[in-house]
Structure 1
């Protein structure tokens, strides 16, 4: 069901979880930059249980960097990312694909940044890759020129992830229950373990595993787009060793990887603690991506 009133000023809902910043957004906040330097569209996939108000802070940061870009943000719950099937996740991302890519023509004119936050954001970013193919053909990959991975991906080994997944879901649902947080986390641990056993029984691939795999397949996620990994050694939900391990796999598959480590920042808290470093890394890598595109055409 389409939401008719946006929870964030300046955004228009195109589904109950996808919001677009109006095309006529005020661009007077910063001097206009040459069009070739700006992305045409930026898609921010928020962290699990992130509110529109909080995820919109990242859209605001992008708007200051690229005032002419259309910006979409995707809001998702951690629990849905875990239990939904791939088909359900694809269906949830089809409105996004229809808004950004109504046809498969003139894709060369689009310059896209994908920004995934935490594992939930990565799971729905991967669903958007599949949704694009669902609409426009299995032989086409969603075009993008920079992929930003903020506090993601984590380990794809269930035994090492279940404790952190249960804590993440508990953080998003603790307000629903009167008992201590640890009780909520233990309940979710049991639920996640049951989901894991069910998936094994029916032969369904776990969402975290599926999303990591999608971003390693050239036919789904173009190797043309550099991967910028934003992470911290003090992230208590996504360990830095897992981010670096996943980045190493991506590099071995032919993807350009850039590692941006932040000091003492929590999970998806790098922008809040280190805004200059955060937005500087994004802008510098976008410029490098544009320069790479220009060199490939000469």
Structure 2
């Protein structure tokens, strides 16, 4: 009973958002919010949360965005372990989000054409969020009308603890042991390392493609992504995402023509950089949005 109550309270944290599917929800500001003096808010903030993230954790980011950009609609795309490992199901689950993006852009005044400057802020958390965002690119393109640009309109992107570019056994084991007690981790570790080693062997023999590679590559594909600038927020001690992987992806992004900024935190945990230094974290977000940095 206690666990069920906890689960309901976690989900209740996001009850103010309109649920469009099991993993897609949207917040639309009230008339009083849109009447604020803010003139530089995004039309839409898209948050793609990490795998199996609890509502009580996600809501901290949603409410901060409400505070920063009171005029912005906020689109939340969640991910689950079941979706993450089932490529055929993630697309239909994410598809309702494409309609929200189109509606938000269609509501822009004529003086703000959708491709002249960014009107969307995309915030990606971990590999789960990376998969959701990559699927959104695909669904937006697949549902484009004849003659319509198939790419999500120009936006800026925050990568938080994402993405991975190489399969690493230690990170894979860390992913599957999140939430386990120390004793449970000790018991599960040998089995998980054995499974991870087998998966690494299959990848090495090129019998399959790494499940994450498709989404990771999407973010650096100009045929899918029309982006003004991006920032990678990561850590030197993240147990799930190796800093070398993030930096490799950033380097590949620069080669593809994207404007890249890298912000490495010291000793912060996976998707916990805002807890380590909230002031720095949200300054990174706002300066990425308004372009008040030169890139590096």
Please report the TM-score for the alignment, with normalisation by the length of structure 2.
0.81
Task: Answer whether contact 2:44 2:104 (CA < 8 A) is retained.
Answer: no
Task: Answer whether contact 2:238 2:269 (CA < 8 A) is retained.
Answer: yes
Determine the structure 2 residue equivalent to 1:51. 54
Shift of 1:34: 3.3
Q: Secondary structure at the match of 1:149?
A: strand
- Unmatched segments (≥5 aa) in structure 2: 1-10
Task: Answer whether contact 2:90 2:132 (CA < 8 A) is retained.
Answer: yes
Task: Answer whether contact 1:18 1:73 (CA < 8 A) is retained.
Answer: yes
Shift of 1:225: 2.4
**CA pair 102-198 structure 1, distance change in 2 beyond 3 A:** farther
**CA pair 104-33 structure 1, distance change in 2 beyond 3 A:** closer
Instruction: Give the Cα separation in 2 of the matches to 1:162 and 1:79.
Output: 20
Determine the structure 1 residue equivalent to 2:83. 80
Determine the structure 2 residue equivalent to 1:101. 102
Report which stretch shifted further, 137-146 or 70-79: 137-146
Is 2:22 the partner of 1:16?
A: yes
**CA pair 226-67 structure 1, distance change in 2 beyond 3 A:** same
Instruction: Give the Cα separation in 2 of the matches to 1:271 and 1:63.
Output: 16
Determine the structure 2 residue equivalent to 1:143. 153
Shift of 1:205: 3.5
Instruction: Give the Cα separation in 1 of the matches to 2:89 and 2:282.
Output: 33
Instruction: Give the Cα separation in 1 of the matches to 2:38 and 2:105.
Output: 26
**CA pair 22-53 structure 1, distance change in 2 beyond 3 A:** farther
Give the paired residue count: 276
**CA pair 135-268 structure 1, distance change in 2 beyond 3 A:** same
Instruction: Give the Cα separation in 1 of the matches to 2:268 and 2:198.
Output: 33
**CA pair 111-242 structure 1, distance change in 2 beyond 3 A:** same
Determine the structure 2 residue equivalent to 1:221. 225
RMSD: 3.3
Task: Answer whether contact 1:46 1:74 (CA < 8 A) is retained.
Answer: yes
Please report the TM-score for the alignment, with normalisation by the length of structure 1.
0.80
Task: Answer whether contact 2:38 2:71 (CA < 8 A) is retained.
Answer: no
Determine the structure 2 residue equivalent to 1:163. 170
